[in-house]
Amino acid sequence: MSDDDTVTVAHGAGTGKTRAFLEDSVVSRFAQNGAGDDLAVGLDALDDGAVHEIDDRSVVVTTDSHVVSPLSFPGGDIGRLAVAGTVNDLAVMGATEPLSLTCSLIVEAGTSVELLEDILDSMEATCEAAGCAITTGDTKVMGSGEVDGVVINTTGVGVIPQGAHVPDAGLSPGDKLVLSGAVGDHGITLLAEREGFDIDGELRSDVAPVNDAVAAALDAGTITAMKDPTRGGLATALNEMATKGAAGIVVDEPAVPVHDAVSAAGELLGIDPFDVANEGEVVFGVDAADADAVVDALQATSVGADAAVIGEVTDEHTGRVVLDTGFGRRYLSEPEGEQLPRIC
């Protein structure tokens, strides 16, 4: 079979190839007319979750299966990742107080119970940090060699006032782009861990719940769009926001915080920190008048010390992201089919 006939690792990398695959082979197969009540954001939006309107409320639903390898890494583990990942997807839809989190475990036979319990304890600690709870679940065991280690699906439900959700697609020319913190930490840390090197122990995943930071940002100003730059990194998130918002984005590259160890490791690995997953960051479109207030509010939160304005939305370059390096300008493309499996 040709490469196009089989699913490859690139189909799951969260980049352009993934989106084409999802649109052609997955999303197009599912009609939306059977959804209950009014569907404000459905599958075809390819947003971070769905939004269903009921009376004066909106029910936000988001799901992620976590397949990260190794199970534990500097800064976190699959348990923290599974809870933070879903809390964060709810948060960037506008649901900063999760109603319900589910935990569906698939465990390889032969896994130590102690390891599993450590992962679950990490999930619970992360739930406590995010102010939420796992209220239902499922546990399956597959044979040794049928699944590698532990896989965790978490699905989140939030209920917010109707109309309070914030889509990916809401950018308008003149908006400022605000980033909650440094990029590249999670992806570069995972890749360095797999390659067996660390630079003076400074690499550390950013995995954390950001719902409090998002709530602070929503309180501080008008947020027009939000996205957490996970698989495919900041480059993919910005390109999606530009495409969906039919707007152009100009990024001031020197303003984007990147930790020194991440830059150094990225060069060694040949990976751009803009292209890899973050698990504790949010990129906001913000009404220009509110940008400084949003940055100030973010900086007062536990995850937002490095928050900064990183660019703005223009009425040129529609659907594209322009990177202003300080020496010149070039388009920032999303990575195509990068081979970064099991990063989250």
Find out whether 321 and 251 touch, Cβ atoms under 8 Å: yes
Residue 227 one-letter amino acid: K
Tokens of 11: 């189909």
201 dihedral zone (left: phi>0; alpha: psi -120 to 50; beta): left
Figure out which of the listed residues 20, 23, 70, 146 binds its own copies, where binding follows CB under 8 A. 146
Figure out which of the listed residues 71, 91, 92, 157 binds its own copies, where binding follows CB under 8 A. 157
Note whether 104 binds its own copies by CB under 8 A.
yes
Q: How distant, in Å, are the alpha carbons of 90, 96, 267 from that of 260?
A: 30, 31, 11
Q: How distant, in Å, are the alpha carbons of 41, 106, 148, 342 from that of 141?
A: 34, 6, 11, 20
Tokens of 122: 């990490």
Give the β-pairing of 76-77 and 38-41: unpaired
How many residues are present in the chain? Answer: 344
Q: How far is the CB of 146 from its own copies (least distance, A)?
A: 4
Q: How far is the CB of 279 from its own copies (least distance, A)?
A: 14
Q: How far is the CB of 82 from its own copies (least distance, A)?
A: 12
| Alpha-carbon gap, residue 158 to 133, rounded angstroms | 12
Note whether 100 binds its own copies by CB under 8 A.
yes
The structure tokens 């495409």 sit at: 243
Q: How far is the CB of 258 from its own copies (least distance, A)?
A: 26
Stretch that binds its own copies, among 146-154, 164-172, 213-221, 281-289 (CB under 8 A): 146-154
| Alpha-carbon gap, residue 237 to 231, rounded angstroms | 9
Tokens of 129: 């940090």
Stretch that binds its own copies, among 118-126, 244-252, 255-263, 324-332 (CB under 8 A): 118-126
Handedness of CA 207, 211, 213, 217 (dihedral sign): positive
Quick one: three-class SS letters along 140-165? EEECECCECCEEEEEEEEEEEECCCC
Site string for its own copies, 175-214 (x = CB under 8 A): ----------------------------------------
Q: How distant, in Å, are the alpha carbons of 180, 252, 304, 308 from that of 257?
A: 9, 11, 11, 8
| Alpha-carbon gap, residue 336 to 16, rounded angstroms | 5
Identify which of residues 254 and 341 has a Cβ nearer to its own copies in the complex.
Answer: 341
Q: How far is the CB of 111 from its own copies (least distance, A)?
A: 5
Note whether 23 binds its own copies by CB under 8 A.
no
In the range 235-294, which residues lie near its own copies by CB under 8 A? none
In the range 32-61, which residues lie near its own copies by CB under 8 A? 32-37, 39, 42-43, 47, 49-50, 52, 54, 57, 59, 61
Identify which of residues 167 and 311 has a Cβ nearer to its own copies in the complex.
Answer: 167
Note whether 132 binds its own copies by CB under 8 A.
yes
Stretch that binds its own copies, among 128-136, 190-198, 203-211, 288-296 (CB under 8 A): 128-136
Note whether 151 binds its own copies by CB under 8 A.
yes
Figure out which of the listed residues 20, 25, 289, 300 binds its own copies, where binding follows CB under 8 A. 25
Q: How far is the CB of 48 from its own copies (least distance, A)?
A: 8
Identify which of residues 42 and 174 has a Cβ nearer to its own copies in the complex.
Answer: 42
Number of residues interacting with its own copies: please give it, by CB under 8 A: 93
